[in-house]
A and B are shown apart, each in its own frame.
Chain A
Amino acid sequence: MRNPARVAAIAAAALCVAGAWAQPGRPAPRIGYVYPAGGRRGSVVEVLVGGQFLRNVTGVHVSGEGLHAELIQQYKPLRAAGNERRQALAWRLRELIEQRWDEAVRDGQVKGKLPAALAIRGARRPRTRDKKAATKEVKLPEHPLLRNLDQMNLRELLNVRAILLNARKYRQQNNAIAEPVLLRVTIDADAPLEQRELRLVTRLGLTNPLVFEVGTFPEVHELESNDPKIFDPLPKAPPLKLPVSINGQILPGDVDRFRFRAEAGQHLVIEAHARRLIPFLADAVPGWFQATLSLYDARGDEVAFADDYRFDPDPVLLFDVPEDGVYDVEIHDAIFRGREDFVYRLSISERPFVTWVFPLGMRAGYGRYADIGGWNLPVEKLFLTAHRDWKGTREKLWGQGRRAINPVPYTISELPSRAEVEGNDAIASAQPVKFPQVVDGRIAQAGDVDVFGFEGRAGEAVVVEVYARRLQSPLDSVVWLEDASRHVLAWNDDYERKEGFLFTDAGVLTHHADSYFRTRLPADGTYYVRLADVQGHGGEAYTYCVRISPPQPDFAVWVTPSSVNVPAGRAVPITLHVLRTDGFSGDIDVALQNAPPGFVLSGGRIPVGRDRIRMTLSAPARRHAQPVVLHLRANAENAGKRVSRPVKPADDEMQAFLYRHLTPAHEWVVAVIGGRRSAAPVKLASEVPVRIPLGGTARVRFKVPRRSIPDGLRATLDEPPRGVTVKDVIAEDGSLVLVLTASGEDAQVGFADNLIAEVSGEITLPKREGEERRKKRRVQLGILPAIPVQIVPKRAAGRSVSDHGAGD
């Protein structure tokens, strides 16, 4: 058995020796679902969050304006309650259900004995086995659903039974969502109608973000069992009034059905939000909650069905109500999976819903009106703003309250644009365009082909890029470049940017249907860009924007994760992902922007040829009471100009055990955790990049302020480049020196990277009785600031190899 005093002594010794740069391995707090995943403006909502390592929740961080969240209570996982308490729950539910049934019989709501389907069979009155307990009564488990259990009506009790007793039988234990936390979210009456991100703040740091939506419709929450196939003797709830937003969770095999009243002539928009709330499930195939919607009339006939909306897995039903009456809408997973993180929001309304926009492209500095089409639209045109310094994709939000349209994406470029003129279906009737040019077009009907002709010169580089799917157009483009003799010079269907199983083009699209290619023209002459839908579809909504231009080298940078937890005075690694477009290949320098004092980014250069690199973020010595939103900026020389781009936060999320996606986040939030005050961070004291001669060594020095350096130092490199190792770690004049080597066989001259090194040392334990000598124990001391390195030829290393020169 462990001696507590000895354990405390070990901890104290470790802290004393290792000081502020110790960074023991900590479990990362994480949330898996937020339910309900939204609320109405001007309301207060109780929200249940499920996750892992959520002990000691201290607060909630919500992005955007107009939302305030606070902790009500956090609970242990239900399974931790033990069998006795779970039996007590079954028994108490049985008692209450029988009691409420009798009351309902007396009130004339139901007749007869409690149906067998509602009885909880096998529930026994629990008796505690604890002989010291004052009473034989067993307490109920603590769970958010069990608050006010005695005040619940019969349907609410059946809901508790369905979720906590029935569904558990068919569920796999899932630690990742087992710890419930109950929050109170207050939504201001004027809160913007945007998606928010909600993160829990714990003693271990911030969790990952999950989506919380702000709506304008009245909200209801499902009560199980609302499955039409499950026997329900209770009087039917009155039909829902429209508009409404329904919140629910799909459990294994679960089907949820809701009744509402509609009138003939209504143009209903029935939207399920499921995948957009939790885009990727790592441990499920398909890798998200694949919701399906069915609509039934009063006769029980299915009148509409959707399992997606175009390419978006979240289904939308656009339904013209043929006659007055009640209708049932049903939602379930396509293959009847379910779990607490299969959360949905289902809205039924006559909201404006845009299904197409034309044009999709704007020229920077030249905003203009675009035609829109869809359902219940109060206007036919929208002004799409395009400031002079804007570039890339934007979203247009328009309208207030129930008249608010769904967000309309469009793209802005610096190139001149023009509209397609129909009749350009063949080379002979190709529409002439200038070079460079952006053309806004539409595949107007099934089988339509659009052809554009331009004059090119021998040796000229040409890029053809389609923007459609990224802007929510249903077009699945394919594009060819042909010369006058119809010889195909280049073509492309889908353009995926992938590194292994990681999609490096941030977003949640899984079918990268937009086309792109880059080629060089062989001779002077007229060339033709031919564009079509690869599936042969077409129509009003099949709009696109195609760029025909010389390469416009550019880049975008993302940082993962979007929630960073740094112990005070220490460093943690972060990953920068670069998307280089049109052949951009230069160095990119990343720097913190207006960060509070004490935050330091190390290894801030993304060298030529690297699309992914790790850096470290060091925190100030003093803990921050609240998480801090930080900003990174990426700067580079591009065609003789200084170009600056914001670094966007994202999370590296896995889909279905395999594929990974950079899921965009709204904010890059950093929590400084640990003790109130720590020593100053370890600093890199050598000139960087550290140039390691091929086949030789280089020394790199770190200044370790105000603390003793333990014996038995070891350093391990995390995911080092091939051939680079740590040969030695030396404590020298209050500094720590790493001796790095580059093996001549594996390392490559010119390769540049940031090394992430973790250091451990030995501490001496207090002497035990009977022990002759004090024992030693190895402790992790922490991660050093990132070390930029470059492999150089041995001769070229010269005097600048390191602060102490080249080694052997």
Chain B
Amino acid sequence: MHSTERVNGPTRREILQRGLAGAAGLTLLGSRGAPAEPLREEPRARSVIQIWMWGGPCHIDTFDPKPEAGYDYCGPLKKAIATNVDGIQIGEMLPLLARQADKYSIIRSMTHGVNAHETASYLVQTGRKQGRVVFPSVGAVVSLFKGYDHGYKGLVSPYVVLTQSQGRFSEAGFLGQRYKPFCTGGDPNRQPFEVEGIVAKGLTDDRQRRRRALLHTLDTLGHAMAGNPLIVRLDQCERNAYDLMFGDTRKLFDLSQEKDELRQRYGRNTFGQSCLMARRLVEAGVPYITINYKGWDTHKQHFQIMNRKLPELDRGLATLLQDLADHGLLDSTVVWCSGEFGRSPRVLWKAPWNGGRGHWGRCFSAMVAGGGFKGGHVVGASSKGGEEVVDRPVSPRELIASVYELLGIDPEGSLPNARGVDTAVLPPAEKDAPGGGRLAEIMV
């Protein structure tokens, strides 16, 4: 991306405005819609790290291997490896995650049947099928219930996306601009991590400070009207902005403060360092972090891409789980890893795909860990070739409802909206849904 291009999402100014509004108790939606539902007491989870594998990762090359299905399904990735939990096997290119299987559960029966990126992403990010009304994504809902309106004091947005925007799939829908995520931009694997609005690209700190001094010298209006409430507020905004740029917030995004050995363990690549950044954000109390992990839409050259990406995923995610555990954060942090769908289990060998995989919404996998999710379990099962769900189908709604419940958000609660219509956080669970529409079997 060109350096001058603006990353989608709120600007520093917008973040500051939100922070101030939150501090002042100005809940925008509260003034125009129904009040938000009260939070449940003592939720298990305080934060969520969502690893969004944009494009749709292949379930049988990752968490649902099918070594018996043969070359037409597995291609060269024909082995499954044992994990540290008896009876659970995962893909051969995830050896580090295999050693962490006691920390996470695998859902092998995710299904929605939608094979288009846009509609499937909307479904997995909102728990709803598309309609006339655009609903907020999970991150925006968490931002509503766990953010500034409910005691969150951080200067960083309660909903952060590392690093590039997911576009409208991380949108706040009808909740509005206030609940949109802050997209960091930049690359955490580079020094400095040029976070949008916090670390200016190509500008030294000294020069930035001199610019501020010059601005103050030229600020005749500010001098003349010192004490005016508007000017006072403007000054407060400026101080907050510079706190972001030179204060604790800046330090938060400064990954050079981490040990080199740990950074290496995460993997010196954008994804690995994003995982490390996510842990730091969790430490800072940010309730919802999405790592927008692109590159899984492997219509062509699937196995070549897997050879690059799976070791990256393995290293980054396995280290994240261990690091969260080492910091005592895993019990209070949900880690959720999935894409909008899986990929066609049967390899498309013919041209123009030449060994690619298509979209597959009928059956795919998700991984969940921490924050009240048990480790070492498998939910559901897929068919011999991974094409169909054969046991315990799980909808995106169920997964999202479980995450909400662990965060203390009532899935049946109301979402405030300008239309004045009673709108539930999630659509009602289907009748006879196992676990009452939640993943009860893997929730503590």
Task: Report which A residues bind B (CB closer than 8 A).
Answer: 27-28, 30, 32, 51-53, 174-177, 282-283, 501, 657-658, 716
**Contacts A283-B299, A283-B300, A716-B70; A501 near B352 (Cβ below 8 A):** no
**Contacts A658-B115, A658-B116, A716-B70; A176 near B352 (Cβ below 8 A):** yes
**Number of residues in B with C-beta < 8 Å to the partner?**
13
- A657 interface neighbour in B349, B350, B358, Cβ under 8 Å: B358
Q: Is B351 among interface residues, defined by CB-CB distance under 8 A?
A: yes
CA separation between A51 and B70, bound complex, in Å?
Answer: 28
CA separation between A269 and B243, bound complex, in Å?
Answer: 68
The answer on a CB contact under 8 Å between A176 and B351 is yes
Query: What is the minimal beta-carbon distance from A596 to any residue of chain B, in angstroms?
Result: 28
Query: What is the minimal beta-carbon distance from A652 to any residue of chain B, in angstroms?
Result: 11
The answer on a CB contact under 8 Å between B352 and A174 is yes
CA separation between A689 and B353, bound complex, in Å?
Answer: 36
Determine the chain B residues whose CB is within 8 A of the CB of A52 once the complex forms.
351, 354
CA separation between A51 and B351, bound complex, in Å?
Answer: 9
The answer on a CB contact under 8 Å between B358 and A30 is no
The answer on a CB contact under 8 Å between B352 and A657 is no
**Contacts A283-B299, A657-B299; A175 near B359 (Cβ below 8 A):** no
The answer on a CB contact under 8 Å between B299 and A175 is no
CA separation between A286 and B351, bound complex, in Å?
Answer: 18
CA separation between A53 and B349, bound complex, in Å?
Answer: 12
- B352 interface neighbour in A283, A658, A716, Cβ under 8 Å: A283
Overall SS of chain B's interface:
loop
Query: What is the minimal beta-carbon distance from A654 to any residue of chain B, in angstroms?
Result: 9
| Further contacts, 14 of them, CB under 8 A, given A175-B354, A716-B70 | A27-B349, A28-B350, A28-B351, A30-B350, A30-B351, A52-B351, A53-B351, A174-B352, A175-B351, A176-B352, A283-B353, A657-B358, A658-B115, A658-B116
Best-buried of A28, A52, A657 by chain B (most CB within 10 Å): A657
Query: What is the minimal beta-carbon distance from B357 to any residue of chain A, in angstroms?
Result: 11
A-B contact pairs, 25 of them (CB 8 A): A27-B349, A28-B351, A30-B350, A32-B351, A51-B351, A52-B351, A52-B354, A175-B352, A175-B354, A176-B351, A176-B352, A176-B354, A177-B352, A282-B352, A282-B353, A283-B299, A283-B300, A283-B352, A501-B115, A657-B358, A657-B359, A658-B115, A658-B116, A658-B358, A716-B70
Query: What is the minimal beta-carbon distance from A776 to any residue of chain B, in angstroms?
Result: 18
Query: What is the minimal beta-carbon distance from A33 to any residue of chain B, in angstroms?
Result: 12
Best-buried of A30, A174, A175 by chain B (most CB within 10 Å): A175
- Specify the chain B residue showing the minimal Cβ separation from A658: B115
Query: What is the minimal beta-carbon distance from B85 to any residue of chain A, in angstroms?
Result: 28
Determine the chain B residues whose CB is within 8 A of the CB of A174 once the complex forms.
352
Determine the chain B residues whose CB is within 8 A of the CB of A282 once the complex forms.
352-353
Determine the chain A residues whose CB is within 8 A of the CB of B354 once the complex forms.
52, 175-176
Determine the chain A residues whose CB is within 8 A of the CB of B353 once the complex forms.
282-283
The answer on a CB contact under 8 Å between A32 and B352 is yes
Query: What is the minimal beta-carbon distance from B387 to any residue of chain A, in angstroms?
Result: 10
CA separation between A377 and B349, bound complex, in Å?
Answer: 49
- Specify the chain A residue showing the minimal Cβ separation from B68: A716
CA separation between A698 and B299, bound complex, in Å?
Answer: 40
Best-buried of B116, B299, B350, B352 by chain A (most CB within 10 Å): B352
Query: What is the minimal beta-carbon distance from B136 to any residue of chain A, in angstroms?
Result: 27
- Specify the chain B residue showing the minimal Cβ separation from A780: B71
- Specify the chain B residue showing the minimal Cβ separation from A656: B116
Query: What is the minimal beta-carbon distance from A358 to any residue of chain B, in angstroms?
Result: 40
Query: What is the minimal beta-carbon distance from A71 to any residue of chain B, in angstroms?
Result: 20
Query: What is the minimal beta-carbon distance from B411 to any residue of chain A, in angstroms?
Result: 32
Determine the chain B residues whose CB is within 8 A of the CB of A30 once the complex forms.
350-351
Query: What is the minimal beta-carbon distance from A42 to any residue of chain B, in angstroms?
Result: 35
Query: What is the minimal beta-carbon distance from A760 to any residue of chain B, in angstroms?
Result: 10
The answer on a CB contact under 8 Å between A658 and B351 is no
Query: What is the minimal beta-carbon distance from A31 to any residue of chain B, in angstroms?
Result: 9
5 nearest A-B residue pairs (beta carbon):
A176-B352, A176-B351, A30-B351, A52-B351, A283-B352
Query: What is the minimal beta-carbon distance from B79 to any residue of chain A, in angstroms?
Result: 16
CA separation between A177 and B351, bound complex, in Å?
Answer: 9
Query: What is the minimal beta-carbon distance from A761 to any residue of chain B, in angstroms?
Result: 15
Determine the chain B residues whose CB is within 8 A of the CB of A176 once the complex forms.
351-352, 354
Interface residues of B in 41-78 (CB under 8 A from A): 70
Determine the chain A residues whose CB is within 8 A of the CB of B115 once the complex forms.
501, 658
Determine the chain A residues whose CB is within 8 A of the CB of B358 once the complex forms.
657-658
CA separation between A658 and B117, bound complex, in Å?
Answer: 11
CA separation between A808 and B116, bound complex, in Å?
Answer: 46
CA separation between A176 and B353, bound complex, in Å?
Answer: 8
Best-buried of B115, B299, B350 by chain A (most CB within 10 Å): B350
Query: What is the minimal beta-carbon distance from B68 to any residue of chain A, in angstroms?
Result: 10
CA separation between A508 and B359, bound complex, in Å?
Answer: 23
Determine the chain A residues whose CB is within 8 A of the CB of B359 once the complex forms.
657-658
Query: What is the minimal beta-carbon distance from B237 to any residue of chain A, in angstroms?
Result: 42
Determine the chain B residues whose CB is within 8 A of the CB of A657 once the complex forms.
299, 358-359
Determine the chain A residues whose CB is within 8 A of the CB of B70 once the complex forms.
716
Query: What is the minimal beta-carbon distance from A759 to any residue of chain B, in angstroms?
Result: 13
